[in-house]
Structure 1
């Protein structure tokens, strides 16, 4: 049987126009899909009318060609490629087309979470936008590590998942490049001050902790490779940018046994140089080289970042009125009272303190922010 007559409209239609029904002898419904929809709609709207409730007007089922799909939001039949995937549905496609789906999701986030940012904060860190704003105000609006840039990025421990503080983009990225390792951060600070193991080895080998740079051509006229033969592109790049040649780079790599001059753990791939003098300090891995750049090649920032990761940088101290506030420097100062750009004096004093103080010289009980109680007060563990 390829056709059947509908009892309502009386038309003879293909069997594909009838729903399946096990109770029927032929396994098909008594009415075609269009009439079946009208019957269901009439019954449903009658029941809702008795309850005193209004419903939208009945929309007759549209005939959708093969490879097309109807979007109920924009009420348009579109190609299936314009719909996202949804494994939970029988068709494997989302209910709405992509533009409408994005609008529905945005509206849902706005109604339930108050916006996209609040949704992401709750999803990733378990905090609200209001809690983040309060933490920023508690810090005086400045990144607790560098004390220079505005605090905009939530930083959390990848080990515990707990929020630590609010940082600037560079400090947050720099911690990630160093894998939150305080030991490597301090090694990088010593490396920049030319007082680490790599600098001592360079002094033994060549009598100076750095070499190359723009001035090399004046005091060492034979530093270029002799001969008229063509060199590699890397050779000319090194010569122009760092004042060394390919042979110098190979010698330095051999001196470092192929490992990073800072962490001594990853392969050395990048030439690191002093941006002020242009002199080459050594070869570093991608993480250490990028991390130092994001932390502004500043030893003070690196040591503060190391103490921050260990929980020794940010402290909670009592105020005269019996409350509490943050302290992020030694000597102590209320971050909320320091004007924008007024951290230089405290920054330099704090840098001297952290350079002279090793991590085990002072035991500090540093709390970690875990949330807020009912009255909005921050709770620390």
Structure 2
């Protein structure tokens, strides 16, 4: 698991937050139809996948492992329409194949969105850093910045296991720890404790045996 605050590449970032919301482009006669083939759970793929289809009658020949993959298949289908029907990027003003249009800022192509994001982030470094943290927490753990900060405050700004403070002398930041089976957040740990649980495969039995092993070793030393 990664630290709370990380730096990521520019690609796939937000566009200007000061811009008004733009209308999503559409192609006449086509409408996206994405259907889950099983129960949908937060931040977990459906076991059966997703079906991708279009209002024009097109349907993907096979299911897709995620909603995003189904969306990609639909946009690839739209690439087949005549280029004069393709959406026009509001920044470069070029007809752009649907698969090359941004999903986060639908009025921009992916190249222009990346450029716009880079320019905005350079002008607003603090807001950009906060956005990265907000996006990571919501996407990976399903919590807000406020919830993460409240959890850390409950732990007095320290690792829930060893008690080390955030930003310790080793250069490690505290990490969000969660149950990999359910996705539920359990607490905030330092890098070493978080990695330790992972190495023990989150198995309490293994940890109990490890404690007994170390205790027996210490007892032999003093015998």
Q: Which has the larger radius of gyration?
A: 1
Question: TM-score, length-normalised on structure 2?
Answer: 0.41
TM-score (norm 1): 0.25
Q: Compare the two structures and name the one with the higher strand fraction.
A: 1
Larger relative contact order (CA 8 Å, sep ≥ 6): 2
